[in-house]
Amino acid sequence: MRPTHLLALLAILSLPAHAQHAHGEGKLDVVIDKDSIAINLELPLDAAVGFERAPKNDREKAALAAAEKALGDAALFVPTPAANCKALPPKVVMPAFGAKAGADDHGDIDASYAFRCANPAALKGVETGIFKQFKRLYRLEAQRAGPTGQGAARLTPKSPAITW
């Protein structure tokens, strides 16, 4: 990890946490470093599929697979078009259901996205279409760190962008 990535990550981790696990509410961290954007998403499984446990039937298994496929599309996040950013392959980690999971465990999906921007000076924000994909999601508590400083925003279906 480059030193500037580490500093940006440390800066974002020092921001106050807005929410613990809550149904319908996810967490989004955005780190801007030179020509790169790193986005980390933590989404309660309930917001994506309507349950937080191992799937009980084929319909629930299909819902998990559909959520994983949808989150595997970097087009869920759109940096400022003038910045000419290209997505790298996303990484999606679904909850592991097994003997080690406790009855009180809450399932979260973790996904990470990365972009390289040809014109980083034009980068002014990132908009998300995640609310259209997951109707049970009503809020993302977003934090960002980058060359213009750090900040936080609450993203909703009516306000789906973090800007700086």
Q: Are 26 and 140 in contact (CB under 8 A)?
A: yes
Sheet holding 77-79, edge to edge: 77-79, 125-128, 161-163
Q: Are 41 and 137 in contact (CB under 8 A)?
A: no
Kindly report the average pLDDT of the chain as a whole number: 87
Number of domains in the chain: 1
pTM summary value:
0.83
pLDDT higher than 50, residue 8: no
Q: Are 43 and 139 in contact (CB under 8 A)?
A: no
**Residues 11-45 pLDDT 10s:** 444 444 434 456 789 999 999 999 999 999 999 99
**Residues 120-129 pLDDT 10s:** 999 999 999 9
**Residues 57-114 pLDDT 10s:** 999 999 999 999 999 999 999 999 999 999 999 999 999 876 554 444 568 999 999 9
Q: Which helix (H) or strand (E) holds 66?
A: helix 58-71
**Residues 124-143 pLDDT 10s:** 999 999 999 999 999 999 99
d(CA 157, CA 160): 6
SS3 call for 25 = strand
Residue 76 structural domain: 3-163
Q: Are 40 and 128 in contact (CB under 8 A)?
A: no
Residue type at position 159 = S
pLDDT at position 24, please?
86
pLDDT at position 100, please?
56
* Phi then psi dihedrals of residue 104, to 5 deg: -95, 0
